[in-house]
Amino acid sequence: MEIVSISDVYMIAKKRPKEVVFKIPELSNKENDAWETRFNDLLSECGCTSGQQFIRYSTPGLVIVLVILINYSDLSRQFILGIFVFSVILAGASGKIIGLLQRNYRIKKLVDELMKTQGV
């Protein structure tokens, strides 16, 4: 997506393009490049990192629950293993969704920051 005016910047938050190119005449080439880099870094985030972190941090607790269920419940081992796998997948999906929500929030903040620097 090509950004050629300050008003186009609002479209970044609405359209969520994969990449932006800044060519705003009111900004210098250096400033255009700096804003382009900042926005593209955010736009490339997919939530995978936070999904991995959710899995990494929840796995020890899930393993403890798995061991307790295997040793102290009447549920079949296949069912318990299914619950464990589902829980890991759920943790990863939750992390990804939260990561995407955080990215969207950061994009809106970056748009606001650019608008403030331009006096809009």
Q: In the chain, which residue ranges form alpha helices assigned H by DSSP? A: 9-15, 29-43, 48-72, 77-117
Q: What are the pLDDT digits (tens) for 13-44?
A: 888 888 999 998 988 999 999 999 999 999 99
Q: Has residue 71 got a pLDDT over 80?
A: yes
Residue 35 CB coordination number (10 Å): 20
Q: What angle do CA 75, 79, 83 make, to 5 degrees?
A: 110
Q: How many whole angstroms separate alpha carbon 111 and alpha carbon 9?
A: 7
When pLDDT is cut at 50, 70 and 90, the band that residue 51 belongs to is: very high
Q: What is the mean pLDDT of the chain?
A: 92
Per-residue pLDDT, 16:
83
CB 43 within 8 A of CB 16: yes
Give mean pLDDT, residues 48-66.
95
Quick one: pLDDT at residue 8?
87
- Report the Cα 89 to chain-centroid distance in Å: 17
- Rounded to a whole number of angstroms, the CA Rg of the chain reads 22
Model confidence at 86: pLDDT above 90:
yes
